Amino acid sequence: MTIGFVDCSRPAIFAFGLAYSAEEADCAWPVLARSVEEADCAWPVLARSVEEADCAWPVLARSVEEADCAWPVLARSVEEADCAWPVLARSVEEADCAWPVLARSVEEADCAWPVLARSVEEADCAWPVLARSVEEADCAWPVLARSVEEADCAWPVLARSVEEADCAWPVLARSVEEADCAWPVLARSVEEADCAWPVLARSVEEADCAWPVLARSVEEADCAWPVLARSVEEADCAWPVLARSVEEADCAWPVLARSVEEADCAWPVLARSVEEADCAWPVLARSVEEADCAWPVLARSVEEADCAWPVLARSVEEADCAWPVLARSVEEADCAWLELARSVEEADCAWPVLSQFRSRLGTSLALRNLFFFFCTELVVCMSD
């Protein structure tokens, strides 16, 4: 069989001839594309010629750029020939014109979906390729989401690419924002890959569009509950994240309450976040106001964490909605009686609290007894 002027029965000569002719003659560009299209024997030729001849690297990139019929060629060649896997990675690495090639080929050819996942898995040089292609080509956004959805081997790919490439940070945020299928992707990737923990924290820190992402992902995916708690525990930069996310997203209110309820590691999280972030003061008050499950949370957090004592005093000082919170917590939790007394003892800012608390006693017999108890303890404390 003969293609143009080349004998296909001698693949070694064909491989060298194809690369050499395409390099030296402009008229050979459409020849490369059409010959690969029309002859089945040319599939391994394309892969082997790129493998054996350095001059063939720009050939692959330019042929795919200039000839529309070459799009499915790239996908099918990578699918059928094992030696083509490093070819895809190296061609994208060395030729700038190949960036949009990767995105468009994955968009237009169904057989390319597992190609993207496997190429990133098997070739180290492909890690920055994934990040840069998603950064520079708009059509690549849904590509990232769908590839992670349909291929199991892509789960660690998402985590490692975000870890090793700085340009991938905004990629994670924007992909989750624009593609609905990416919601469970974020939750599962953080669940299954240890290296993803700092990824969640840093992405929310650096990208504004990621704030509602954190809230919605925790809302819609059950596996995300321990994710929120562990990420805040292990990464220092996550402290202000918890406070700001609860501040800006309404759907995050019940998230704070449930996460503290179901995960033991979340108890010190509540105390430290309120301590270190000013915007968290009204968060504590509103969460206790709107969520019933938060009542025992307030009591237990004050019980187990020493840093929570001044938290109780300052929250009552600065937030008007905290007055009924203090009363109800003292009413329903036995452990709160002694807690209230200790907070008044140890924190200077609690003295005006006691005074203001007296003016709002109302007709509650329990609160009147409480005030009487405080006065007795105060006299004993001052006499000592």
Contact 129, 102 (CB under 8 A): yes
Residue carrying structure tokens 């918890």: 242
- Shared domain check, 304 and 249: no
In a domain, 164, yes or no: no
| 87: exposed, middle or buried (Cβ count in 10 Å: 0-12, 13-18, 19+) | buried
- Shared domain check, 19 and 125: yes
**Whole-angstrom Cα distance, residue 206 to residue 223?**
24
- Shared domain check, 3 and 121: yes
In a domain, 272, yes or no: no
pLDDT per residue as tens, the chain (384 positions): 334 444 444 444 444 454 455 444 444 444 544 554 454 444 445 555 554 544 444 555 555 555 444 445 555 555 554 444 455 555 555 544 444 555 555 555 444 445 555 555 554 444 455 555 555 544 445 555 555 555 444 455 555 555 554 444 555 555 555 544 445 555 555 555 444 455 555 555 554 444 555 555 555 544 445 555 555 555 444 455 555 555 554 444 555 555 555 544 445 555 555 555 444 455 555 555 554 444 555 555 555 544 444 555 555 555 444 445 555 455 444 444 444 444 544 444 444 444 554 454 444 444 445 445 444 444 444 444
Considering 89, 114, 137, which residue would you say is the last residue of a domain? 137
Helix axes 253-262, 239-248, angle to 10 degrees: 140
φ, ψ of residue 5 to 5 degrees: the values are -120, 15
**Whole-angstrom Cα distance, residue 234 to residue 244?**
18
Give residue 188's pLDDT: 54
**Whole-angstrom Cα distance, residue 209 to residue 199?**
15
Model-level pTM greater than 0.75?
no
Contact 337, 370 (CB under 8 A): yes
In a domain, 8, yes or no: yes
Considering 116, 137, 158, which residue would you say is the last residue of a domain? 137
Give residue 305's pLDDT: 46
Considering 217, 247, 262, which residue would you say is the last residue of a domain? 262
By three-state DSSP, how is residue 35 classified? Answer: helix
Residue 38 neighbours by CB distance under 10 Å: 12
pLDDT, tens digit (0-9, with 9 covering 90-100), for 153-169:
445 555 555 555 444 45
- Shared domain check, 116 and 242: no
Side chain identity, residue 123: A
Give the chain's domain count. 3
Contact 158, 148 (CB under 8 A): yes
Give bridge partners of residue 6 from the DSSP assignment: 3
- Domain hosting 97: range is 1-137
- Shared domain check, 122 and 47: yes
Residue 6 Cα distances to 18, 32, 45, 172, 175, angstroms: 8, 11, 12, 47, 46
In a domain, 316, yes or no: yes
- Shared domain check, 231 and 333: no
**Whole-angstrom Cα distance, residue 115 to residue 101?**
14
- Shared domain check, 91 and 8: yes
In a domain, 160, yes or no: no
- Shared domain check, 99 and 36: yes
In a domain, 211, yes or no: yes
- Shared domain check, 218 and 118: no
Give residue 143's pLDDT: 54
Contact 124, 87 (CB under 8 A): no
In a domain, 87, yes or no: yes
Give residue 214's pLDDT: 56
Give residue 217's pLDDT: 55
The structure tokens listed for 234 are 């292990």
- Shared domain check, 123 and 57: yes
- Shared domain check, 321 and 251: no
**Whole-angstrom Cα distance, residue 381 to residue 341?**
11
Residue carrying structure tokens 């929310």: 204
In a domain, 151, yes or no: no
Give residue 84's pLDDT: 47
- Shared domain check, 253 and 129: no
